[in-house]
Amino acid sequence: MTLETRLGYRFRNRSLLQQALTHPSSGILPDNQRLEYLGDALFGAALSLLLFHEKPDWPEGALTKLRHLLVSTDSLYGWAKDLDLRLKLPARTDPSHMKTAFRKPLADAVEALLAAIYLDAHALGEDGFVALCKVIGQRFKTQIQQAGRDAWEHHDTKTILQERAVSRGLPAPKYELVERHGPDHAPTFVVHVQVGPHQAQASAKTLKQAQVEAARLVLPCLE
C-alpha cells in the first residue's frame, strides 16, 4: 500500500510531496520546515472545525483538551507510523533507527504533508481546506465520535500541558507553591507554573486544583 493510499489523497504536484518528506538535516532544498509551519496552523483549524461539528454539546474546555491531545507529538507520531513515513535524511543516518530517533521530525513531517495537501489542491483550483479536512476527518472522526464528554471534562489539564510543551520543544512545566493562607480547615493554595517563557498563577482550595487551574491558564500561550 502506498503512502498516498494510506493518507487518502493523491498528489498531482509530486514535488510538494517530496518536499514534505525532506528533513532539514538532509541538506536538500527546499526542505519541509516552511510546510510544517503552515501545516501546524491548518491542522489546528481543521481539527477545531471537525470537533465543533462532531461534538455540538461539548463546552469549550472539553473541546480544547481533546484538540490538544490530537495535535500532540504522540498523536502525530502515531499517524506517521501508520503512514510508514520515510524521510529524506543525511546519508550517515541509519534508517533502522529513524522511527525512534526521529520521533518529532516524523510528527513534523505529518504537518508538512497536511500543508502540502492544502497547497496541491488549491493550485488546481480546488478548495484546499476541504481536501485537508477530508483527510483529517478520515484519520480522527471515529476517535472523536467515541470520545466521552465526561472523560474529557475531567481529564487532567496538567497532562495536556505536559504533552503540549513536549510537542513545542519546551521544558516540562514547573509548578511552585507560592503561598498557603487561610485557616487549617479551609486553606487556599497559590501556585505558579512556568513553561519556557510562559507563566501563570492561580489559587484554589487544594494544591492539586491550584496546579490544574494554573495549567489551564497557561495553556493558551502554547497554541
Which residue numbers are catalytic?
40, 111
Q: How far is residue 84 CA from its own chain's centroid?
A: 19
| SS3 category, 12 | coil
Cα 44 from Cα 55, distance rounded (Å): 16
Question: Is the CB of residue 214 less than 8 Å from the CB of residue 198?
Answer: no
Phi, psi of 10 (to 5 degrees): -105, 120
Paired strand residues for 223: none
Burial class (CB in 10 A: 0-12, 13-18, 19+), 164: buried
Assign 3-state DSSP to the chain and report helix, strand, coil percentages, each to 5.
60, 10, 25
